Amino acid sequence: MLPTLSVVVPVFNVEHYISPCLESLLNQDLSNVEIIVVDDGSTDLSGAIAEDWRRKDDRINIISQSNAGLSAARNAGFRAARGKYLAFCDSDDVVTSTGYRLLVETLEATGSDMASGDVRRMDSSGVRPHSGYEDVFAQGRRRTHIRHDVSLVRDRMAWNKVFRRSFWDAQNLVFSLPAYEDAPVMIRAHIEASAVDVLPEIIYYWRIREVGPPSITQRMREPDNVAACMRSVVDTFGVITALAPELVAPYATDMCRRDVRNALRSLHLHDDATLSDAVRLAQSFVRSVPTDVLQALPPQDRHLMELLVRNELQQVRDHVDPPPSA
Q: What is the pLDDT of residues 233-262, one digit of tens each?
A: 999 999 999 999 999 999 999 999 999 999
Give 214 or 162, the one with higher predicted confidence. Answer: 162
For residues 150 and 279, state if they share a domain.
no
Domain boundary (152, 180, 207) is at: 207
For residues 86 and 175, state if they share a domain.
yes
Q: What is the pLDDT of residue 212?
A: 59
Q: What is the pLDDT of residue 231?
A: 96
Lowest mean pLDDT among 45-49, 129-133, 222-226: 129-133
Residue 152 falls within a domain, yes or no?
yes
Q: What is the pLDDT of residue 220?
A: 63
Residue 16 falls within a domain, yes or no?
yes
Residue 324 falls within a domain, yes or no?
no
pLDDT in tens, 80-101: 999 999 999 999 999 999 999 9
Asked if 242 and 43 touch (Cβ cutoff 8 Å), the reply is no
Q: What is the pLDDT of residue 4?
A: 98
Q: What is the pLDDT of residue 31?
A: 85
What CA–CA distance (Å, rounded) separates 227 from 278?
Answer: 4
Asked if 229 and 217 touch (Cβ cutoff 8 Å), the reply is no
CB-side neighbour CA atoms (13 Å) of 162? 31
Q: What is the pLDDT of residue 214?
A: 54
- How many residues would you count in the chain? 326
For residues 203 and 228, state if they share a domain.
no
Residue 325 falls within a domain, yes or no?
no
For residues 306 and 171, state if they share a domain.
no
For all residues of the chain together, what is the average pLDDT?
A: 94
Q: Which residues of 266-297 are buried (b: 16+ CB within 10 A; e: fewer)?
A: bbebeeeebbebbbebbbebbeebeeebbeeb
For residues 199 and 266, state if they share a domain.
no
Domain boundary (207, 228, 261) is at: 207
Domain boundary (172, 207, 242) is at: 207
Q: What is the pLDDT of residue 217?
A: 52
Strands (E), 57-145: 60-65, 85-88, 94-95, 114-123, 126-129, 141-144
Note the Cα 135 to chain centre separation in Å: 17
**What range does the domain containing 292 cover?**
220-319
For residues 56 and 132, state if they share a domain.
yes
For residues 197 and 224, state if they share a domain.
no
Domain count for the chain: 2
Residue 304 falls within a domain, yes or no?
yes
For residues 195 and 238, state if they share a domain.
no
Confidence of residue 78 (pLDDT cuts 50, 70, 90): very high
For residues 40 and 129, state if they share a domain.
yes
pLDDT in tens, 201-235: 999 999 987 775 555 455 566 889 999 999 999 99
Q: Please provide the DSSP assignment of 221-239 as one string.
A: TSHHHHHHHHHHHHHHHHH
Indicate the pTM of the whole model.
Answer: 0.93
Q: What is the pLDDT of residue 326?
A: 41
For residues 194 and 256, state if they share a domain.
no
Lowest mean pLDDT among 22-26, 169-173, 318-322: 318-322
Backbone angles phi and psi of 203, in degrees to 5: -105, -35
For residues 262 and 313, state if they share a domain.
yes
Per-residue pLDDT averaged across 16-43, rounded? 96
Statement: residue 304 has pLDDT above 70: yes
Query: Residue 121 belongs to a domain with what CATH number?
Result: 3.90.550.10
Residue 198 falls within a domain, yes or no?
yes
For residues 174 and 198, state if they share a domain.
yes
